[in-house]
Amino acid sequence: MNKIEILKKGIIKDNPVFVLLLGLCPVLGVTTSAFNGFGMGMATTFVLFMSNFVVSIIKDFIPAKVRIPSFIVVIASFVTITELVMEAFLPDLFDALGLFIPLIVVNCLILGRSEAFASKNDTFSAVTDGLAMGIGFTLALTALGGFREILGSYSLFGYSFIEGDGMLVFVLAPGAFIGLGYLTAIFLKIIGER
């Protein structure tokens, strides 16, 4: 598969959030603002990229029966690294993302890509896939975050554009579900799946 194909798939055709419905927990949990969504997307992309990289390198040394635990240890290590680095150098983002940073480990997107792609392809393809899925994920997160921030706080990326507090429901749980539902419908329509 050529690399452009892989990129297009990850970002559009097989967008991890809107099409594959993977990794939904952080999608709903941290998208209270565009910036938080973007930050989480970047963190996840980093872990995806690095773990796809490592998995594709060591794939031939792992006996089949222990591959899932092995992948998980690799993923968990990069997540912890991300956690520590964020706490040290980006404390505000760290506070905003909270519990969801360690939860990147069980983001079924990352384990899914390790299992489905990185363990079966060469390193260059694997990291391209990691990058592509990560970008697709970040796109979805930022879009939903922006949607919820505009309606829920009357601001975008922190810049208020109208006076007032916004429609609270969009910053809370129901708004996340409903927002994602409509955004998914719109995305699928745009890319021609419906």
**Which residues contact another protein (rule: CB under 8 A)?**
21-29, 32, 58-70, 72-74, 76-77, 79-81, 83-85, 87-89, 91, 98-99, 102-103, 105-108, 111, 119-120, 165-166, 168-169, 171-182, 184-185, 188-189, 194
Measured CA to CA in angstroms, residue 105 lies from 4, 6, 67, 88, 139 at distances of 28, 23, 15, 20, 20
Measured from the CB of residue 5, what is the shortest distance to another protein in angstroms? 22
Nearer to another protein, 7 or 169 (CB): 169
Smallest distance, Å, CB 95 to another protein? 8
Q: Within a 10 A sphere around the Cβ of 23, how many other Cβ atoms?
A: 25
Nearer to another protein, 1 or 4 (CB): 1
Whole-number Å distance between alpha carbons of 95 and 4: 36
Q: Decide whether 124 or 177 has the Cβ nearer to another protein.
A: 177
Cα–Cα distances in angstroms (integers) from residue 140 to residues 2, 8, 9, 72, 145, in the given order: 24, 15, 14, 24, 8
DSSP secondary structure string, 34-95? Answer: HHHHHHHHHHHHHHHHHHHHHHHHHGGGS-GGGHHHHHHHHHHHHHHHHHHHHHHH-HHHHH
Residue whose CB is less far from another protein, 23 or 130? 23
- Nearest approach, Cβ of 36 to another protein (angstroms)? 11
By beta-carbon proximity to another protein, the closer residue of 1 and 73 is 73
Q: Please report how close the Cβ of residue 4 comes to another protein at its closest, in angstroms.
A: 25
